[in-house]
Chain A
Amino acid sequence: MASPLTDRELKKGSAELLILSLVEDRPRHGYDIGQLIERRSRGALRFNVASLYPLLYRLEERGWVRGRWVEKAGQRRRRYYRLTRAGKKILAAQRHGWRDFVQAIGRITGIEYA
């Protein structure tokens, strides 16, 4: 596990990209997003409630994601977030930016990009 400091720095820069990517293929609720980040990063990245939701709200405020309460049979109602059209553009741009950034870092530090 990375040091808390690094973790925080990285998270700060990457959080938006992570969330946008996760809701790209289908709408997800907050708990789901948090779990997925933790699971797919194999525990390397973890957002607590106090930081994840404000982030979601910020993305929503910018119009990149949109939250909606959905009631499904046999389940409690949840707020699902889906990517908006504006969000899609941002996601594409950020992906591009990150790839360039990571490659640049790799070239300098000699770390292979997996």
Chain B
Amino acid sequence: MPEFKSEIRRSLAGLNLPPTREEEIVEELSQDLEERFEEALSHGASEEEAKQIALDELAESDSLSEQLRRMKMPLRQQPLTIGARKARQRFTGFWDDIRFGLRMLAKQRGFAVVAILTLGIGIGASTAMLSVVQDVLVRPLPYAHADRLYSIWASSDSTGQTRIASSGPDFLDYRDQNRSFTHIAEYIPRFIFTWTGEGEPRLVNCTAGSEDFFATLGVRPYLGRLYEPNEYTSLHDDSIIVSYRFWKNQLGGDPHVIGRTIRLQGESLAIIGVLPSMSDLFPDTDVWPKLTTNPSWPFMQWRSNKFLNVIGELRPGITPSMAGEDLTAILRRVPEEPRDVRVGLVSLKEELTGNVRVPLVATLAGASLILIVACINVAALLLARAVKRQSEMAVRVSLGAGRGRIVQQLLSEAMLLSAAGCAAGLLFAWSVLRVLPTFTDLPLPRADGVHLNGPALLITLAITVAVTLLFGWLPSLGFAQMNLSSALRPRGLEASGHSRSILSVLVIAEISCAVVLTISVGLLVHSFWRVMHVSPGYQPQSLLRVYIRNQSPPNDPEGLRKYNKENTTFWEDVLHEASSLPGIRHVAISDWRPGRDAALATLTFGDRINDETRLPTVEGSWVSADFFQTVATPLVAGRSFTDHDNADGQPVVIINSEAANQFWPGQNPVGKRIAINYTGPGRRTSDSGPRLREVIGIVGSIKHGALDAPARPAVYMPYLQDETDHDMSAMGLLVRSEGNIAGLPDRLRDRIHAIRAEQPVEIQNVEQLVAQSVATRRYTLILLGAFAAVGLLLAAVGVYGVISYATSQRAREFGIRIALGATRGRVISYVLRGSIVLTIVGSLAGVIGALLVTRALSSLLFEVSPLDVLSFSAAVALLALISIGASLLPAWRASRVDPIIAMQSE
């Protein structure tokens, strides 16, 4: 075929057409000329003649350019279309690839849905967890100089205490002698007031800080003002600051709330300020009474009454350890303190989030494993598919597509998948994070501040790009060694050994990730099982706790006597009324909060010389006579309390077996005498030394706090023998019922209101309180368990996909084997052997991985070793079962291969 284009270009020269337009005209005209040329040939012209005939078309009459020149303007540029010249269509090619990729995905909808969902779950889970970690653990607290805010705790190796709070005098020493802090303040984190006069009497949570408290945090009022310095010079309260939460929820967000009065503890207080939201540090606080140091309440003046939290803002340039040394030196000057007492600083953020750090990081790691497994799965699917598409690719290559062009197309397809997966993942993460704050019992600080955030999005984006490259690149490996001629033949559709081994490596990696996840979850499940089966030392089932807060006691001795007398009568009435309700077996009162904690006390022994600086610390509780029957804790030795153990009786105490073993090993403690210096949150103890009490009995050890905390030595004393003017202002009624508790809370409330009308009553189910004590453990388990389930599912899909792909590739081989006399059973076992090898290698790798990582979980485990054989073997067995199960179907299919059809396919 002669070349006409240059001739046409020559005729167009000088028209200055846009290059695209010129090229189009050249192409259109040259086609025309070529057809005329061929036509002339077919009419018998020689090639030379035919060429001349065609060229005459251009030369005849008006020249082409003359004709075109008559047109007023060059034609507008045409949109570029498929097949246009290469140099100008790089971008067009991209969109073509996208369109083509969409068509390919639409054709294999099942594959696309599985891949996108898989990626979506992986990306969603890890993005959500990244957001949580970022917003809870990483993001600084929203307070001025948040990086210099620290909590101050003492510890002593000799008494075994790691987190000793401060007493009023400790704080005054710190405040007056330290050289490390710009601000330092003490506060009582949580106590309870009654709120009356507006409908149903209610309880409000209080936090009280000393004068520098708000300045330390850098908090400014949202409305109104803070307390003035002169207001800290009087014990008397006539004003109150409320929290944002209380203002919004209880006061209706009233913008004119300043000056309004509310009745707390029977006193009318004018609201002077509303604080901004401090839902991170003080999520439950309703009102903020002030805490004065001079004058101060008596219980703030006793050195041993260590119940105060202290926070400080470090001077710039002072490190926490320097400040710790400073404060340690101050505290060691106090004669009563243990010689080895140390003061340490914990950053406020660490204090807030330290408990959830390990669970969160573990869950994030779990989510990342899921993402890895998901990526591997999709990569394996793509790789398997790529081998199936070898002939398509071979056709493209033989038609002149370069390797780069093929990779570009694979990349576009991968991009579609990962973009869709990313979108699905973001949607998933977004919805998870939206429902997160609705879990009100979620033991996660700062939960309300968790959003799908920038860093998490960036990481997700980076992952998506990486995944795209991986997915585009991996299948192209399969084509690298493609033998064109064999690939084009129909039976050339077999995987090369190369891509089959890549597939196997992928599946092994997937199995090992799933094994690591499953083993970790196995350890958590085993721990949880142990925790749930740990005996708390009492029976939380069918047990209610009714929290009753009375008015605060007056300050003068005469008033206090009257107050105690009134309240003794009140409690006796409550006990009497409650026990007379139908369906009630036992009732008792105690200041212990089941599932939370008991107050602390130090012991002095009548039978030995006591080192004042090393008095042992025990848990303790004031109880009524029927306490042990009510909570169903067995008496081990001696006798229980009776009604005669009252104010007029001999002072007595019952200890638990833990205390008996620890303080009188190999002896009988009954009859021994001890003095108990009862301390605790806001507890009133007199300044005079406590009297000696006779140990009358030993009971089983109760886990006062969380189920997974060890039982500690404890003492129990009759509440009527409270020689220390324990204020009786806050106690709990424990009610043991006959099983069914429906309707019981209302009846209890009515009875109590019959005794005292304006009495706020809060009723809790002790079983739930105990469950809450292991909520972190439970949520971690649920989350990681879900991840492990997804991981196992994905591993099953991966194994199934690879095995069924491998068997379908070898259908002919199986056909021949069957034709040669192999039984179906042998074919099945032959296929299963392949998956067993994958499983064994994957499990081994997983076990090795797990050995390396489970140690990091130690703090989440309970009475379970990080190398727990049961968890390891159960996880491996489960995975083996699943992966063999997943290969059964393809194995069965292989055994059904019809030898004739299989061999005909050649």
Contacts and interface: CB of A to CB of B under 8 A. Distances in A.
The DSSP consensus for interface residues of chain B is helix
Interface stretch (A45-53, A82-90, A99-107): A45-53
A35 B717 CA distance: 117
Interface stretch (B75-83, B92-100, B209-217, B803-811): B75-83
Interface in B224-247: none
A53 B25 contact: yes
B57 interface: yes
Given A54-B67, A60-B75, A49 B58 contact: yes
Contacts of B67: 50-51, 53-55
A76 B31 contact: yes
A113 interface: no
Contact of A50 (B24, B62, B71): B62
The DSSP consensus for interface residues of chain A is helix
B62 A53 contact: no
A50 B58 contact: yes
A58 B71 contact: yes
B87 interface: no
B458 to A, nearest CB: 43
Contacts of B60: 48, 50-51
Given A57-B71, A61-B71, A61-B75, A51 B31 contact: no
Contact of B64 (A50, A61, A76, A78): A50
A61 B73 contact: yes
Contacts of A76: 31
A50 B83 contact: no
A98 interface: no
A53 B32 contact: yes
B139 interface: no
B723 interface: no
Nearest to A71: B83
B27 to A, nearest CB: 8
Contact of B82 (A31, A49, A51, A71): A71
Interface in B44-94: 56-64, 67-68, 70-73, 75, 78, 81-84
A30 interface: yes
Given A50-B67, A54-B67, A61-B75, A30 B62 contact: no
A81 B32 CA distance: 14
A49 B29 contact: yes
A109 B861 CA distance: 114
Interface in A25-42: 30-31, 34
- Most B Cβ at <10 Å: residue of A49, A55, A57, A77: A49
Interface string B15-32: 000000000110011011
Nearest to A50: B64
Interface residues of A, number: 22
Contacts of B78: 69
B624 to A, nearest CB: 95
Contacts of A49: 29, 32-33, 36, 57-58, 64
B173 interface: no
Contact of B57 (A48, A54, A61, A68): A48
A31 B62 contact: no
A57 B75 contact: yes
B35 interface: yes
Interface string A58-97: 1011000000110100001111000000000000000000
Interface string A1-37: 0000000100000000000000000000011001000
B28 A48 contact: no
A48 B54 CA distance: 9
A48 B56 contact: yes
B64 A54 contact: yes
Contact of B83 (A30, A53, A61, A77): A77
Contacts of A55: 67
A72 B207 CA distance: 81
B72 to A, nearest CB: 8
A71 to B, nearest CB: 6
A3 B381 CA distance: 74
B33 A69 contact: no
Nearest to B64: A50
B353 to A, nearest CB: 63
Contacts of B82: 71
A78 B27 CA distance: 9
A60 B68 CA distance: 13
Contacts of A57: 25, 68, 71, 75
Contacts of A78: 28, 31
Interface of A: 8, 30-31, 34, 48-51, 53-55, 57-58, 60-61, 68-69, 71, 76-79
18 contacts: A30-B28, A30-B31, A34-B32, A48-B56, A48-B58, A49-B58, A50-B11, A50-B58, A50-B61, A50-B63, A51-B60, A51-B67, A53-B64, A54-B64, A57-B71, A58-B70, A60-B75, A76-B31
Interface of B: 11, 24-25, 28-29, 31-33, 35-36, 56-64, 67-68, 70-73, 75, 78, 81-84
What 3 A-B pairs have minimum CB-CB distances, sorted nearest first?
A54-B67, A49-B57, A50-B64
Given A48-B56, A49-B57, 9 more contacts: A31-B31, A31-B36, A34-B32, A49-B58, A51-B67, A53-B64, A54-B67, A55-B67, A77-B83
